[in-house]
Structure 1
Amino acid sequence: MTQPFRIAATGHSLNYLPEYMAAHRGYFEHEGLAVDAVVPSPWDLVLTELAAGTSQAALGGIWVPSMYFGRSSRYTPFAQVANRAPLALVGRGDPASFSLTDLVGGTVLMKGSNGASVGLYLKMLLAENDIDARDVRFIQDLDGAMLSELFVGGMGDYLLIDYPNASKLAGSHDVAVVRAFAEAGGDIPWSVYYTLREPTDEQRDLHTRFFRALGRGMADVLDAPADTYADLLTSLFPKFDIGLLVALTDQYRTWGMWTTPEINRAGYDRWQAGIALGGLVSQPLGYDVLIDSVPATRASREVTP
């Protein structure tokens, strides 16, 4: 008998591929889990899903559990799927000569309709490169699709969107991806699974089984070129050209988008500094304060040699 395990996700994205692979190949079912996913709109309804008990985990940015910690509901992250930010800057110049300092004095369009991650991330990168974010103009209160259309029409100097759509845009208009942050942006726990409250022993058992299955899906994604599972990619993202999807997936595989379901400690500390810089926490939260590492520990002990 399988146990239901519904995920309330903040989107449907290529960087979630290991989860989709694990479901496609029956790894969750092998662990006794009947996993399915919903993508509520607006995105913050993932928290309503957790509160109602209709979803057992949310998938999204770790800034949400961080922001709520000690203030309201306790959300506990226990696994990650994306180890890099799947974002890219689109510009009008030559990518070979681009530097982040080029943003100074310019205008960057970036969506603000699906959470805070995009703005937090870019402003963290600017700080890490000794660039004052006050020297850059941001337009970020609009939908991503609207901003893309306006950027192509001449608004702003740069557009920050997800890498797949950035690549698609560059392939059909006179613009270019000047920086792919999945490649050059460093490790960061961009997409994590979290649950409401401190998990019980029963929940930790479910999380451990989920963690193991996700790890198998991640290994399959990493172990084989994307053209060997092109049919899965096509079914997941029918609006994208399959050649582009395969190329993007192989780039993600090479760049370190997927590593392990264990939340990266160094990346976590880095991201906490960025979340604090954005004012969502008064100071960075320690790894063991926020993260439940029990599923990772149990999964590593229970792997059969």
Structure 2
Amino acid sequence: MISKRAFLGSAAGAAAALFSARAVPALADATTYPTRPVRWIVPYAAGGATDVLSRMVCQSLSEKLGQPFVVENKPGAGSTIGTQAVINAPADGYTLLLTSTANAINASFDRTLPFDFAASIAPVAGLARIPLVLVINNDIPARTVAEFVAYAKANPGKISVGSSGIGTSLHLSGELFKSLAGVNWVHVPYRGSAPGLTDLMSGQIQAMFDNVTSSFELVNAGKIRALGVTMPQRSDVLPQVPPIGDTLAGYDTSSFYGVGAPQGTPADVIDRLNRAINDALDEATIKQRIAELGAIPLHGDAAQFGAMMRAETESWRKIVDASHLHKEG
């Protein structure tokens, strides 16, 4: 007969041994991550600059880490559908999210969000920052930001300014410009930049805020005119165009992209991904492609990217609140 104390002791020992046996494979799996394909969710349609950049980085990660990193496009609802898919995925490092300015903006703009992005997505690494540019139709009699402000003040409510959609960085960059310049115009939202740029060239709208990625070739070809870039420094693809902040003090916006994972993803997995992504950004072909897009690579560890995300979220919140723009559902 075994005593109750001995029985409990042996049971506890067996449980500890069982826990240890189960814990070892989990630890080994994290150490050797990845051991199977990884999903990289892009919450936008295929074919855009973000999709191209994602596929290049995923190819590099596949080569570096020995497992396929597969891009899945899940567009819709201003990136919410793709973001929700990652939030609902297991926190094991096998589902990643292409994070962007939309996530930082929606935190304050979209009051219908079914999640708290900051609490649900862990930062992994930055990818790139893209300046925006104020472009106008060639028939508008303005060649500088100051001249455009004067023209807008002389024609209040008569200028149509396009963007890639309500609540986007392009739209809110225009709202910040309006506030700092003290001008008023009609906002014309499009489903993406391409139709807006088409209407801008034809004169259906007079101006537009756009990512340099999709507009600099039109500017350099003389089809539209660029007045100012939205970041404090000039863009390498539009070196002749000064910052808007040179005329409107404090003006500073841009788009950014990075990588996130479900909150709770093991820290060592995030660290391994971060190092591999940073290494990918240093590869000659990827560096060249980022430069060709007019983008700026974002290096740094996960904590630095998280700090940047928080700063961006707060910056856009101030613009959203000042513009009284909120999606209520």
The question of a shared fold, defined as TM-score above 0.5 by the shorter chain, is answered with yes
Pair 101,68 (structure 1): closer, same or farther in 2 beyond 3 Å: closer
Q: Secondary structure at the match of 2:298?
A: coil
State the one-letter code of the partner of 1:123.
E
For 1:131, the equivalent position in structure 2 comes to: 181
8 Å Cα contact 1:95-1:176 kept in structure 2? no
For 1:97, the equivalent position in structure 2 comes to: 144
> Is it true that 1:161 corresponds to 2:227 in the alignment?
no
1:215 positional shift: 1.3
Pair 158,189 (structure 1): closer, same or farther in 2 beyond 3 Å: closer
The counterpart of 1:121, out of the listed 173, 194, 198, is 173
Counterpart Cα distance in 2 of 1:210 and 1:82: 12
Indicate the percent of aligned positions where both proteins have the same amino acid: 11
1:3 positional shift: 3.8
8 Å Cα contact 1:79-1:211 kept in structure 2? yes
1:97 positional shift: 2.3
For 2:201, the equivalent position in structure 1 comes to: 152
For 2:276, the equivalent position in structure 1 comes to: 213
Q: Secondary structure at the match of 1:122?
A: helix
Counterpart Cα distance in 1 of 2:122 and 2:172: 19
Q: Which moved more, 1:166-175 or 1:13-22?
A: 13-22
Counterpart Cα distance in 2 of 1:70 and 1:154: 35
List per-residue Cα deviations over 1:137-185 (Å, max 9, x = no partner): 2111454322222222111211222213212323455322222335336
> Is it true that 1:107 corresponds to 2:152 in the alignment?
no
For 1:40, the equivalent position in structure 2 comes to: 74
**TM-score normalised to the size of structure 1?**
0.63
The counterpart of 1:190, out of the listed 242, 256, 259, is 256
For 2:39, the equivalent position in structure 1 comes to: 6
State which structure, 1 or 2, has the greater radius of gyration over its C-alpha atoms.
2
8 Å Cα contact 2:165-2:189 kept in structure 1? yes
Counterpart Cα distance in 2 of 1:9 and 1:189: 15
The counterpart of 2:264, out of the listed 186, 196, 200, is 200
Q: Secondary structure at the match of 1:2?
A: coil
The 5 A counterparts of 1:1-305 are 2-11=35-44, 13-14=48-49, 19-24=54-59, 26-27=60-61, 29-31=63-65, 34-42=68-76, 43-50=79-86, 53=89, 55-60=95-100, 61=102, 62-65=104-107, 72-75=114-117, 76-79=121-124, 81=126, 84-91=129-136, 92=138, 97-99=144-146, 101-102=149-150, 103-104=152-153, 105=156, 106-112=159-165, 116-127=168-179, 130-132=180-182, 135-172=184-221, 174-181=223-230, 183=234, 184=243, 186=252, 190-196=256-262, 199-202=263-266, 204-220=267-283, 226=288, 233=289, 248-249=292-293, 251-252=294-295, 256=296, 258-260=298-300, 262-263=304-305, 264=308, 267=312, 269-279=314-324
8 Å Cα contact 1:7-1:35 kept in structure 2? yes
State the one-letter code of the partner of 2:277.
L
List gaps (5 residues or longer) in structure 2.
Answer: 1-33, 235-242, 244-250
State the one-letter code of the partner of 1:101.
V
Q: Secondary structure at the match of 1:56?
A: strand
Counterpart Cα distance in 2 of 1:65 and 1:32: 35
State the one-letter code of the partner of 2:259.
Y
State the one-letter code of the partner of 1:35.
F
8 Å Cα contact 2:169-2:255 kept in structure 1? no
List per-residue Cα deviations over 1:111-133 (Å, max 9, x = no partner): 217x6332123323444xx2346
State the one-letter code of the partner of 2:173.
Y
Counterpart Cα distance in 2 of 1:179 and 1:159: 11
8 Å Cα contact 1:166-1:177 kept in structure 2? no
Counterpart Cα distance in 1 of 2:81 and 2:223: 37
1:14 positional shift: 4.0
**TM-score normalised to the size of structure 2?**
0.59
List per-residue Cα deviations over 1:69-119 (Å, max 9, x = no partner): 997323225145355444222212588523363554332111217x63321
Q: Secondary structure at the match of 2:277?
A: helix
1:281 positional shift: 7.7
